[in-house]
Amino acid sequence: MTNTRILVLGTGGTIAGIAGDAMRHDYQPGQIGIDEWLEDAGRYTLDVDFVGRQIANVGSENMGPQIWKVLHEVICEAMEDDALDGIIVTHGTDTAEETAFLLDLTLPLTKPVVLVGAMRPADAVGSDGMRNFVNAVRVASAESSKGRGVLLVMGDRVLAARDARKVRTRGTDDAFRGFPRGSVAIVTPSALEWFGNPWRDDPSPRFAFPSEFPEVPILYAAGGIRPSMAGRLLEDAQGVVVAGVGEGNMPEAVRAMLAKRAANGLLVIRASRVDEGLVDREPEDDANRFVASRALNPQKSRILAMVLLANGVTDPAKVQAVFDRP
Ligand code: DAS
């Protein structure tokens, strides 16, 4: 029997980070190359053959359209390659939820695609990187991972791309949570247990990958923000996500200014700055031509808004229908 073959795409982050001294707090992300990483992983009996490819080696605050595009292209090729069974992307944790969600929306998903990161650099005391990676290998090589979209492994949890969010800046176990669904599976190096059935029948891409990413800034609402300041953020914008207070609220003057802009074609999404902030439609949304983000946080709402605008979906009612079932 031949081993499962996994393509491992390195993009950097803390999982590839080095402090130089196990006791230091500060470190450089994106220092270990993917070949070195896979050689190190070879210490474990994983019964898997790896093919490594370095896509980037950056802190994930530097991820963006250019690297996303390469990642998307390489994974699309891997989906066509009969010699590969699954794909792992090593990624910084800061923006892993955005990359995972973008790929979930735009990839054909005939094979498992799993993002994995670490909260501690590779040479820290109690580094979580290799454990998380070995867990990711188990998920990426499992037949049962199909039909579940892009997945993110952190600690012993498996999260679906659309639910995953970073909720802590420190610590390992609780750094990521899922919302509205929590973890969709528990994984260890020796076991994988799903909490439900696959939810995606159709493996075809839901949307075309954007050839250009439209400008969609995030407007962070707070008591006292003024329409003039908000307006400056909207220069060149095709859409805006309001990280609203509470359930997607904002000062009345800002709301009125955005309603005027929405009447002229700006896509306005009301999200929440509250973690686990569910934002439902309110009666004025129809007249204002606003969209409610439902369970998507501002950064994921921005990804979805960019994808929809790039795919020519601009009508607020049509955009709302996608946010209702992301
Ligand atoms: N260095 C940050 C990043 O690349 C943090 C991390 O990976 O945990 O996102």
The CATH code of the domain that includes 83 is 3.40.50.1170
Is the pTM higher than 0.95? The answer reads yes
- Classify residue 212: in a domain, yes or no: no
2 is catalytic: no
- Whole-number Å distance, alpha carbon 89 to ligand 1 midpoint, is 14
* pLDDT attached to residue 1: 67
Residues 75, 108 contacting (CB under 8 angstroms): no
Q: Measured from the CA of 118, which atom of ligand 1 is nearest?
A: 8
d(CA 247, CA 136): 35
* pLDDT attached to residue 263: 98
How large is the average pLDDT for residues 101-124? 96
Q: Measured from the CA of 117, which atom of ligand 1 is nearest?
A: 7
* pLDDT attached to residue 300: 98
Residues 92, 119 contacting (CB under 8 angstroms): no
Phi/psi region, residue 308 (left: phi>0; alpha: psi -120 to 50; beta: rest), is alpha
Q: Per this entry, what is the length of the chain?
A: 326
Going through the chain in order, the beta strands assigned E by DSSP cover 4-12, 48-58, 86-90, 113-116, 151-154, 157-160, 164-166, 176-178, 185-188, 191-194, 218-220, 239-244, 267-272, 290-292
- Classify residue 11: in a domain, yes or no: yes
In which band, very low, low, confident or very high, does the pLDDT at 173 lie, cut at 50, 70 and 90?
A: confident
Mutation choice for ligand 1 from 31, 57, 90, 93, CB with most ligand atoms inside 8 A: 93
Q: Do 188 and 222 share a domain, yes or no?
A: no
Q: Do 104 and 153 share a domain, yes or no?
A: yes
- Helical pair 316-324 and 298-310, crossing angle rounded to 10 deg: 130
Residues with Cβ within 6 A of ligand 1?
13-14, 29, 59-60, 92-94, 117, 119
Among residues 4, 11, 14, 90, the one annotated as catalytic is 14
Residues 318, 289 contacting (CB under 8 angstroms): no
Q: Do 188 and 270 share a domain, yes or no?
A: no
How large is the average pLDDT for residues 87-99? 98
Range of the domain at 240: 218-324
- Whole-number Å distance, alpha carbon 13 to ligand 1 midpoint, is 4
* pLDDT attached to residue 22: 76
* pLDDT attached to residue 27: 81
d(CA 180, CA 237): 29
| Ligand 1: residue whose CA is nearest its atom 7 | 92
Work out how many domains the chain is built from and give that number. Answer: 2
- Whole-number Å distance, alpha carbon 169 to ligand 1 midpoint, is 10
Residues 37, 130 contacting (CB under 8 angstroms): no
- Whole-number Å distance, alpha carbon 88 to ligand 1 midpoint, is 17
Residues 97, 164 contacting (CB under 8 angstroms): yes
For 22-52, the pLDDT digits (tens) are 777 788 888 899 999 999 999 998 989 999 9
Q: Measured from the CA of 95, which atom of ligand 1 is nearest?
A: 9
State the maximum Cα–Cα separation within the chain, in Å, rounded to a whole number. Answer: 67
d(CA 242, CA 261): 13
Q: Do 177 and 57 share a domain, yes or no?
A: yes
Q: Do 32 and 114 share a domain, yes or no?
A: yes
d(CA 291, CA 241): 9
Q: Do 152 and 223 share a domain, yes or no?
A: no
Q: Measured from the CA of 13, which atom of ligand 1 is nearest?
A: 4
